[in-house]
Amino acid sequence: MHIVCSHCFATNRLPEDKQVAEAKCGKCQKTVYSGKPVVLGSNNFYAFIERNDMPIIVDFWASWCGPCQAMAPVFENVAKQSAGLLFAKLNTEHAQQISADAGIRSIPTLIFFHKGKELDRVSGGLSEAQLKTWVMQCVQKHSAKSNKL
């Protein structure tokens, strides 16, 4: 399994049975993923999305957006509780081209990616229960799709 380090963005190969929370990066020696959403930008978005073998949920947000600010702690709490998934944030003000490429029309928008491909999305502020429900639906869709291959 490949996972991109959330600190230096180097790609690491991990055994399938290795817990991501325990894995150290071969380049920077830090934990590859801490359970906190990774801050992405124009310089690392595509590498992080495309080179990770684990599913990733990206929060497209902006600093001026009230619902984005309200949902930020909810997103972080769910990230801490969701082993087997990676969470990331992209500030749409700083990465306008990526936001346009992703077809972001309203914020906050969450997109569930796997190996660079969008599998699902939801727009608008969500409560913790709503976010957990959406994440579980995405995981179930992903599992069903993976089992068909």
Q: What is the DSSP letter of 144?
A: H
Both tokens of residue 47? 């590498």
Active site residues: 65, 68
Both tokens of residue 19? 């817990």
List the beta strands (DSSP E) in the chain. 2-4, 11-13, 38-40, 56-61, 86-91, 109-114, 117-123
